[in-house]
Amino acid sequence: MDTHRGPCDAAAMALVRPFRALRPPPAVAARVASPPYDVINTREARALAAGNPDSFLRVARPEVDLPDGVDEHADEVYAQGARNLAELRARGVLVADAAPRIYVYAQTMGAHHQVGLVGCVSVNEYDLGIIRKHEKTRADKEDDRTRHIDALDAHDEPVFLAYRALPAIDALVAAVTALPPDTDLATDDGIRHTVWVPSVEQSDALAALFARVPTLYVADGHHRSAASSRVHALRDGAPGEHDRFLAVLFPDEQLQILAYHRLVRDAQGRSPEALLAALMDVCDVEPTTVAAPPAPKSMGFFLDGRWYRATLRPGLWDPSDPVASLDAALCQELILDRIFGVTDPRRDVRVDFVGGIRGTGELERRVREEGWSLAIAMHPTSIAELLAVSDAGRLMPPKSTWFEPKLRSGLFVHPMG
């Protein structure tokens, strides 16, 4: 169990612990590995898991094994997930390692390559803000993940964490990855996932090196982090490993953030010419054939069948404010709110969001086929901006970051019992 640290402990550093992972043997890893639960819906999960009894979607999305129309938040769904996890273990599809380890997990997506460390981090440090967040969570999503983790008695999908790169960690990771991997697979989306199992001595050395890392940052997985904290509170005083949760930790300089684009409908029914005139009150706008904006404080507008390059006018924001100066915040304040009256982008049906992995062609398609008034191609948030917001104890606007590649589920499970 983690030693309790008080909020005034200035010497506190990140705890990253080895653990005995449940993992698929290399021969079946490709059949087990699945997309994370929150990037696909029930219909997509059913299609992906069809005919594959080893799919980890049977744990992460257990409604796939129940009749169509079942409420994915019904008690029977969470119970089915626990049964499915036990069944995968009984059949040897998931096997517990003999000794605790910190694992090395690399992802290659085209020219982009990132190498993370898989271990357990402290719930207490999350609660105290040593593991920092940048996103507001939704109560319903927290409730869902809390019930899911509690029913499984395991953390089945890791949280995506970042840390400021440390050369000593980089060097040890390079020594591990110079050896043959334990598991190497490519998924249908063309992303390569590679796993190394360091020696116990290397794992312990990696854990010790994190004593030099003062802060960890939630990049993706805010609801899983919050749910892990809630499960710990529910079980406080009971034996088990609920005082820590599963994470993959990446050095900040390796991470790739894609843009998170916007679609908006005009409730006033203004003509394209009138909308363009309103947009020019806050932006310098010119026609372009390149959809993606080239730099921060610029955006691409798809309007009336063509693209425009928009550059926000200086003086409209405070550059010293790490949140107000974000492109996502400026888009919300100056465009969505001021021009379209969208004050709550989390709930307003007049706005929708498109992850950058889908490309700007998806924006064009949806405007043409669904009648959106305007598509806004955003410039990606930088990892430096994310760390600055987190360090300031602030939260980003909704849909500010889209990390790629996504972590593959089923390669590591942390049992709490």
Query: At 283, which CATH number?
Result: 3.30.1760
pLDDT for the residue numbered 12: 59
In a shared domain, residues 90 and 147:
yes
Q: So what's the pLDDT on residue 206?
A: 97
First to last CA, the chain: 13
User: Each residue of 137-170: b (16+ CB within 10 Å) or e?
Assistant: beeeebebbbbbbbbbbbbbbbbbbbbeeeeebe
327 and 243 in a common domain: no
Same domain, 345 and 210: no
Mean pLDDT of 91-109: 98
Query: pLDDT by residue (tens digit) across 328-346?
Result: 999 999 999 999 999 999 8
164 and 48 within one domain: yes
Question: Which pLDDT value is given to residue 229?
Answer: 97
Other Cβ atoms within 10 Å of 298 Cβ, number: 18
Decide: helix, strand or coil at residue 184: strand
5 pLDDT more than 70: no
Q: For residue 382, what pLDDT is reported?
A: 97
**Which of 11-15, 221-225, 232-236 shows the lowest per-residue confidence on average (mean pLDDT)?**
11-15
Distance CA 252, CA 383 (A): 7
Predicted TM-score (pTM) of the model is 0.92
* Within-domain flag for 387: no
Instruction: Domain count for the chain, please give it.
Output: 2
Question: Is 378 a residue whose pLDDT tops 50?
Answer: yes
Domain housing 302: 260-379
Q: Residue 299: is its pLDDT beyond 50?
A: yes
The C-alpha atoms of residue 109 and residue 403 are separated, in whole angstroms, by: 12
pLDDT tens-digit profile of 181-190? 999 999 999 9
pLDDT band at residue 3 under the 50/70/90 scheme:
very low
DSSP helix/strand/coil, 339: coil
- Do 103 and 236 lie in one domain? The reply is yes
360 and 411 assigned to the same domain: no
Mean pLDDT of the chain: 95
Report the alpha-carbon distance of residue 161 to residue 120 in Å, rounded: 11
Two structure tokens written together for 341 = 């009256």
160: its two tokens? 């995506």
